[in-house]
């Protein structure tokens, strides 16, 4: 009740402070408030400033963007949408379905987006044949981030399959290092489980289970095996993991307190910020058994249906966002890879180069899959039901893989 009232109050204040007279202005809602992210966004600001557009920030702090999405909902419901907003996957489609998004098709055709942007991303940027969002980057989720010093100490080599991975973790355990750095928040656990499912069942199975939500696949023995593998990995996590933030888990790997973290490539941003160099300080491998496939999520700038006098600014923003120079400059800092496949990888480090090559290969080979944990596999209701089950399994409310599969089918069915 209180929350609703707060939302109502927010709605009232945004309505009062809104004045959209200035056409030479871009209003942008986002949750990129950390140092590196803000610096990356500056590239875009300067680009637009050169074209004479002022930049009006609506930053809403909070890593996962939940707070930002609440603020956005209030702004849009009040009929006062920003020019654009950082958005994820199905959220864009939700807004498009509700008729709140603008139409950038003209610009997209002129700029050749449909050829440059991977088809998997277009699924979320294009609704009903119209371009409604400008993808900013592609993150991929199925990565291992390894501390090289620890790896050398225990004499480990790159694990090629799940069993070798477990053997590697055993070595670290024997050497007295925390083998696996994990944050016990449901999205982190589910992000790791995305990779496990892909590794256990292969690309076909991942697509069926996690993107198509095929009930037979969800019920299958492969899914049970995936949960068993998750249980195996859980044994290598330190007892204090519950509730830990992802960047603290990354810090454990950076500092050499832990060997490896399974995390999306935004973890690389943390390594870079700590002045670590790929190859000498840390190693990046694909999650064992998932080489050749990429589980992605992507930040997009959703473009709202703004009044006509603001459309020029919106087009300028969209063009700048998908320009090769911005795509390169931004993603070097963010740790992700460009959202178009024709950006040269010259400025990227070794992990970034691998990421770009992998994305291209996966896009061509049809093995580019949306991450269910990150909201690119299914709408929020389903994605959260999935995260619930995985998290309850990790923390012991669900005690067997049989039960986990049963709960998963039920939860997804319920949320659909």
Partner 1 sequence: MTSIATSNGGAAARTARRPTMRARLQQALPKLVLAPSFAITLVFVYGFILWTIYLSFTNSKAFPKYVLTDARAYQRLWRWTFESDPPSSWYTSITNMAIFGVLYVVFALAIGLLLAILLDQKIRGEGILRPIYLYPMALSFIVTGVAWKWFLDPGLGLEQTMHQWGWTSFHFDWIKNKDYVIYTVVIAGVWQASGFVMAMFLAGLRGIDGEIIKASQIDGASPLQLYRRIIIPLLRPVFLSALIVLAHMAIKSYDLVVALTSGGPGGSAWLPSNFMYEYTFKRNEMAVGSASAVIMLATISAIIVPYLYSELREKAR
The stretch near partner 1 (CB under 8 A) out of 66-74, 132-140, 229-237, 294-302 is 66-74
CA distance 12 to 415: 31
Residue-wise DSSP of 49-106 = HHTT-EEEEEE---TTSHHHHHHHHHHHHTT---SEEEEEHHHHHHHHHTT-B---HH
**Interaction of residue 176 with partner 1, rule CB under 8 A:** no
Residue 2 or 115 with smaller CB distance to partner 1: 2
- 3 touches partner 1 (CB under 8 A): yes
Rounded CA-CA distance 8/176 in Å is: 53
H-state helical runs in 78-220: 89-97, 105-111, 113-116, 119-125, 148-154, 162-174, 186-206, 215-219
384 is a site residue for partner 1 (CB under 8 A): yes
Residue (278 or 377) nearer to partner 1, CB = 377
- Name the minimum Å distance from CB 251 to partner 1: 12
**In the set 142, 250, 392, 401, which binds partner 1 (CB under 8 A)?**
392
Question: Considering the rule CB under 8 A, would residue 78 count as an interface residue with partner 1?
Answer: no
Provide the minimum distance between the beta carbon of 259 and partner 1 in the complex, in angstroms, as a whole number.
18
**Two structure tokens written together for 307:** 């009044």
Q: Is 73 in the site for partner 1 (CB under 8 A)?
A: yes
Stretch that binds partner 1, among 32-40, 288-296, 324-332, 394-402 (CB under 8 A): 394-402
| Contact partners, residue 140, CB within 8 Å, separation at least 6 | 264, 265, 294, 295, 296, 336, 337, 355, 358, 359
Cβ pair 128, 102 in contact under 8 A: no
Instruction: Write down the least CB distance from residue 74 to partner 1, Å.
Output: 10
Site string for partner 1, 229-268 (x = CB under 8 A): ----------xxxxx-------------------------
**Cβ distance 294 to 360 under 8 Å?**
no
Q: Which residues bind partner 1 (CB under 8 A)?
A: 1-5, 7-9, 66, 69-70, 73, 77, 91, 94-95, 98, 184-186, 239-243, 379-381, 384, 388, 391-392, 394-399, 403, 407, 414-415
């Amino acid at each position: 009740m209180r929350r609703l009232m707060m939302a109502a109050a927010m709605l009232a204040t945004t309505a009062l402070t809104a004045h959209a007279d200035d056409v030479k202005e871009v209003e942008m809602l986002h949750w990129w408030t950390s140092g590196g992210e803000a610096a990356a966004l500056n590239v875009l600001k300067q680009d637009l400033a050169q074209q004479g557009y002022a930049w009006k920030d609506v930053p809403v702090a909070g890593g996962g963007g939940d707070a930002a999405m609440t603020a956005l909902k209030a702004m849009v419901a009040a009929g006062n949408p920003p020019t654009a907003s950082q958005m994820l996957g199905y959220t864009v489609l939700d807004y498009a379905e509700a008729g709140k998004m603008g139409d950038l098709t003209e610009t997209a055709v002129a700029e050749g987006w449909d050829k440059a942007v991977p088809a998997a991303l277009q699924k979320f940027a294009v609704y009903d044949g119209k371009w409604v969002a400008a993808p900013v980057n592609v993150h991929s989720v199925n990565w291992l981030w390894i501390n090289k010093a620890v790896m050398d100490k225990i004499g480990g080599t790159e694990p090629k399959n799940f069993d070798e991975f477990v053997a590697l973790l055993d070595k670290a355990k024997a050497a007295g290092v925390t083998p696996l750095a994990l944050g016990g928040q449901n999205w982190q656990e589910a992000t790791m489980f995305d990779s496990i499912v892909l590794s256990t069942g292969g690309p076909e199975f991942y697509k069926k289970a996690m993107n198509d939500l095929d009930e037979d696949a969800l019920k299958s023995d492969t899914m049970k095996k995936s949960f068993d593998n998750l249980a195996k990995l859980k044994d290598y996590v330190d007892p204090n993991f519950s509730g830990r933030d992802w960047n603290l888990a990354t810090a454990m790997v950076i500092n050499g307190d832990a060997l490896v973290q399974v995390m999306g490539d935004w973890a690389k941003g943390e390594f870079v910020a700590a002045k670590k160099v790929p190859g000498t300080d840390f190693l990046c491998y694909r999650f064992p058994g998932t080489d050749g496939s990429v589980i992605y999520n992507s930040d997009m700038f959703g473009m709202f249906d703004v009044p006509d006098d603001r459309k020029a600014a919106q087009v300028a923003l969209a063009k700048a966002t998908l320009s090769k120079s911005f795509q390169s400059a931004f993603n070097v800092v963010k740790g992700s890879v460009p959202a178009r496949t024709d950006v040269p990888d010259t400025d990227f480090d070794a992990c970034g180069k691998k990421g770009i090559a992998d994305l291209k290969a996966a896009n061509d080979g049809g093995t580019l899959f949306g991450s269910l944990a990150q909201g690119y596999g299914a709408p929020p209701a389903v994605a959260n039901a999935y995260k619930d089950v995985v998290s309850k399994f990790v923390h012991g409310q669900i005690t067997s893989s049989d039960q986990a599969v049963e709960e998963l089918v039920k939860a997804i069915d319920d949320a659909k």
